[in-house]
A and B are shown apart, each in its own frame.
Chain A
Amino acid sequence: MNNFEFCKYFSGNSIVHKLDARIKIISSLIFFILTFSSNNIISLSIIAISISIIAVVSEVPLIKYIKSFKSVLIISVITAFINLFFEAETNLVCLGELSVSLSGLKSSIFLFFRLFILVFISSITMFTTSVQEISLAFENLLSPLGYLGINIQEIAITITLSLRFIPVLFEETYKIINAQKVRGAHFDSKNVIKKIRAFCNIFVPLFIFSFKRAESIAIAMESRCYDVSKKRTSLKNMELSHRDAISIIFLLIIFTGVIICNKMKIF
């Protein structure tokens, strides 16, 4: 249930909410690239600070972000830990065959923060952009593919539906787990085989559920005149406003700042 918060839109009226979804998606991608290209503490903190400012402006309660961090905490700790041992230079500590070097320590700390920033960026985008906006943005961004004979509308509706049903599937998994627990299933058994068996009992009903749900949604869509081959209009037309222009300038400043800082020789 921890990852639950990851994909939930939080309705609001902040500047970040009002930004064009295309801008949000593209700038998240740019931020992703910047995060991984940053190689010193200043450039990474520039990114962290600007992301935090955006998060504050988004008016989404802090607890929501903390919840989404919690879901990736373990994986980032593990990745960072493994990374400790894979940098062959002057050794700081030796544990038999394994050795930790200064650069290994540095890169694992960086990796840890990078992963956090990644989650932070994607959470901001997810919390402030509704599914429909995301799919509309994708539809818009991918529209050049239409010339290659690919049906973009179909892809967009697929995105809408899959994003909408991620929380539904989590809820359903939780329900199935509870239903099985009530009937005496053990999910915390230490025996791996028993554990796998127990999880089979979750996935089979979940699989069946998703097919049934897909069918009923298909019926609901069809009975509301949905037709893949027909052109659809759209509630929200994508038009760039002065807000978006300002945010692009903001992004460019960060971008150049990070690039310049990357050239500097600091820890």
Chain B
Amino acid sequence: MGPNGCGKSTLAKHVNGILVPTSGDVFIDGLNTKEEKNYFEIKKKIGMVFQNPDSQIITSTVEEEIAFGLENLQVPSIEMNYIIKNVLNLVELNGMEKTPTHCLSGGQKQRLSIASVLAMKPEMIVLDEPTSMLDPGGRKKVIKIIENLHVKGTSVLLITHSVEESLKSQRVVIMDNGQIVSQGNPKEIFSSVDFIKSNNFNIPESTDILYRIKKHGYEVSLKAFESKKCADEIIKLLENNI
């Protein structure tokens, strides 16, 4: 996370070797991104999903889009159909193999981008603000897919502006001006409200409410990030005071 222009996307592009550092080295699983012979291996290990779904869809139908990466990996065509069916199931686009890509909605396009990366079986998937151009419904679906991926054992590096999304992660890294400002468990980070506010981030509304209550001298935990937990916290406070 971090403000616009802080270097999040640049970092992401370094992870899969699109950009090569001018100073220092980037190692992916022991492979230096500077060495040309590692290019293919690195790109195979790291899948990349970009912000704008329109600028990463290469072909004109759904199945061909997924096949594009597989063709590059020289997967035989008999296996391809099976893989395509599988990944479309994962992103809930089943039965849309023949649909033209320009007929998909923004959310569907983004899920297709994720599917076409997943088809290549990367060890890690890097998502550069995949939800920022989607409506709330599309956003929810994409986030659910990302969560499932993580459960199934793929590492996920998600770049986002949404606190809500980052709360679901294991570790949050906050960047500013090309530097890491803070990192750690999201609950720890977002409960230090003063720090977050000084960095111009939005804090979850429930945390903000509890923060204001706490400022008046009441004892509440700031680690309640969902409205339900926030309500519980307030009820507990009320019961204690009556």
Q: Give residues in A with beta carbon < 8 Å to B.
A: 8-11, 13, 130-132, 160-161, 163-164, 167-168, 213, 216-217, 219-227, 230-237
Contacts of B102 in A (CB 8 A): 8, 167-168
Q: How far is the CB of A172 from chain B (nearest CB, A)?
A: 10
Q: How far is the CB of B180 from chain A (nearest CB, A)?
A: 24
Cross-chain contact A225 with B120 (CB below 8 angstroms): yes
In the complex, A223→B76 CA distance in Å? Answer: 20
Cross-chain contact A213 with B71 (CB below 8 angstroms): no
**Knowing A11-B100, A233-B74, A234-B71 touch, does A220 contact B61 (C-beta < 8 A)?**
no
Cross-chain contact A225 with B40 (CB below 8 angstroms): yes
What would 5 more interface pairs be, CB under 8 Å, given A132-B61, A216-B55, A224-B120? Answer: A130-B60, A167-B102, A219-B50, A224-B116, A225-B120
**Knowing A224-B69, A225-B44, A233-B77 touch, does A132 contact B98 (C-beta < 8 A)?**
no
Contacts of B48 in A (CB 8 A): 220, 223-224
Q: How far is the CB of B178 from chain A (nearest CB, A)?
A: 20
In the complex, A235→B77 CA distance in Å? Answer: 5
Contacts of A168 in B (CB 8 A): 54, 102
Option from B44, B60, B75, B77 in Cβ contact (under 8 Å) with A236 = B77
Q: Is B117 in contact with chain A by the CB < 8 A criterion? A: yes
Q: Is B70 in contact with chain A by the CB < 8 A criterion? A: yes
Q: How far is the CB of B88 from chain A (nearest CB, A)?
A: 14
Cross-chain contact B64 with A227 (CB below 8 angstroms): no
Q: How many A-B residue pairs have CB under 8 A?
A: 107
In the complex, A258→B70 CA distance in Å? Answer: 45
Contacts of B99 in A (CB 8 A): 11
Cross-chain contact A132 with B59 (CB below 8 angstroms): yes
Option from B18, B40, B80 in Cβ contact (under 8 Å) with A235 = B80
Q: Is B131 in contact with chain A by the CB < 8 A criterion? A: no
In the complex, A131→B40 CA distance in Å? Answer: 26
B52-84: contact bitstring with A at CB < 8 Å (1 yes, 0 no)? 101110111101100111111111110011000
Cross-chain contact A216 with B58 (CB below 8 angstroms): no
Q: How far is the CB of A19 from chain B (nearest CB, A)?
A: 15
**Knowing A11-B100, A222-B18 touch, does A233 contact B60 (C-beta < 8 A)?**
no
Cross-chain contact B71 with A233 (CB below 8 angstroms): yes
Q: Give residues in B with beta carbon < 8 Å to A.
A: 13, 16, 18, 39-40, 43-44, 46-48, 50, 52, 54-56, 58-61, 63-64, 67-77, 80-81, 98-100, 102, 116-117, 120
Q: How far is the CB of B46 from chain A (nearest CB, A)?
A: 8
Q: How far is the CB of B59 from chain A (nearest CB, A)?
A: 5
In the complex, A164→B68 CA distance in Å? Answer: 14
Q: How far is the CB of A188 from chain B (nearest CB, A)?
A: 29
In the complex, A223→B39 CA distance in Å? Answer: 9
Contacts of B52 in A (CB 8 A): 216
Cross-chain contact A233 with B16 (CB below 8 angstroms): no
Cross-chain contact A225 with B98 (CB below 8 angstroms): no
In the complex, A173→B63 CA distance in Å? Answer: 28
**Knowing A9-B61, A132-B61, A225-B40 touch, does A216 contact B67 (C-beta < 8 A)?**
no
In the complex, A227→B69 CA distance in Å? Answer: 11
Cross-chain contact A234 with B18 (CB below 8 angstroms): no
Contacts of B100 in A (CB 8 A): 8-11, 130
Closest chain B residue to A231 by CB distance? B74
In the complex, A140→B98 CA distance in Å? Answer: 22
Contacts of B47 in A (CB 8 A): 223
Closest chain B residue to A160 by CB distance? B59
